[in-house]
Structure 1
């Protein structure tokens, strides 16, 4: 991703508030968060956003390969600043990885990759999902006290945008599932009507016939119903 001009924090906060949820998805919002963080918080070479649910962790957005690789190394080792920040929803600052003792497996790998300092801030997401905004630098002591304070403030604004995006995404997905369920129910009812007319049976008997056909052909009930409706002769026009 190409570098962009530094952004004034006030403008960055306004950008977070102007994200149009209907024009993107959750990962799109998270990419905007990572990109704005890189442009706003001094010292960042690469930024990312981690999402963690139970034991499953993934990097949902990143501004460069360095951030993605460092995140994934922490997932593999089961520990590191981004995972600690996500678990505690706190700020985890690593001024100099050369002096770091907390993560004996991750630290050598990070140093080998050229990372010498990092900053991770926990992001409350939604119910059982937590996250972290991760910032990496090849320089030691890249994030001074002012950068830490700014990162904490930025993350507060980002958390609101991310929470709204997660809720919007979940609501949209639920609506899509409900719409699909209604469509499936409609085609099943049509198929039952066709069976009732041809077999002169009740609705319950028609459903049993449809269910048995589904089992015998090892196909989903809705697929069997759809095929039956499609094969049915069209009603004569009056």
Structure 2
């Protein structure tokens, strides 16, 4: 059995020290995969998959073999990591040679030198679910102690991943709101310029901006920016 290079408690502590404002969601996923690989006894490679609306993809992996075995499951629309992500349970494949639930996938894994695997569901907020997948070289690579270690790490990782997902969504929303405010500001400036030039109402000014937008196949914001820039140039002449 391959021995861990990081004590499980140390792996949890390292994960707990990650600051969400200093790391992207993709980096958090990779950190989880790497720490699991280094702390769960018997591990050869690790992946973390995400599933949204029944479409799965491997978001982080420690080796190409893990990614390839995940992708085989996406192609077949079935397999332990997909089932674990959907149920949130731990699914063990102790011996690929004896696996009857997913025989075609197990045969491919065995041919690639993987003898056993663990898939542990990682619930995330919203419409996204996930799973931590641990692949071992030999059959029965994960004894009860290894499985308990993997489940303990996964429980902690699920919280860290959910928090990172929420933080990422909040940061994206904040950026979108800031962009919307900037767009609104420049549009209001352009409306003010039109109202001053044409002595018209705010509604008429916006209608003119919209017509120019449609006629020139540009966004209203782009038309407004051009108008404001033109007005600034006029004032400097």
TMscore range, shorter length: over 0.9
Q: In the aligned structure 2, how far is the partner of 1:115 from the partner of 1:228?
A: 63
Q: TM-score, normalised by structure 1?
A: 0.94
TM-fit CA distance, 1:107 = 2.0
Q: TM-score, normalised by structure 2?
A: 0.95
1:193-219 deviation per Cα after TM superposition (whole angstroms, max 9, x unaligned):
111111121110000000011111111
Q: In the aligned structure 2, how far is the partner of 1:164 from the partner of 1:43?
A: 28
TM-fit CA distance, 1:115 = 1.6
Q: In the aligned structure 2, how far is the partner of 1:232 from the partner of 1:139?
A: 72
TM-fit CA distance, 1:108 = 2.3
State the secondary structure of the residue aligned to 2:132: strand
> Which range is displaced more, 208-217 or 226-235?
226-235
Contact 1:79 1:106 in 2 (8 A): no
Q: In the aligned structure 2, how far is the partner of 1:73 from the partner of 1:101?
A: 16
Partner of 2:83: 84
Q: In the aligned structure 2, how far is the partner of 1:222 from the partner of 1:5?
A: 55
Partner of 2:155: 156
1:84-122 deviation per Cα after TM superposition (whole angstroms, max 9, x unaligned):
110110000001111011113322222222222110100
State the secondary structure of the residue aligned to 1:105: helix
**How many residues were matched structurally?**
234
Q: In the aligned structure 1, how far is the partner of 2:220 from the partner of 2:233?
A: 22
Contact 2:47 2:134 in 1 (8 A): yes
Contact 2:4 2:41 in 1 (8 A): no
Partner of 2:36: 37
TM-fit CA distance, 1:19 = 0.8
Q: How does 1:2-17 map to 2 (within 5 A)?
A: 6-17=5-16
Structure 1 alignment gaps of length 5 or more? none
TM-fit CA distance, 1:33 = 0.6
Structure 2 alignment gaps of length 5 or more? none
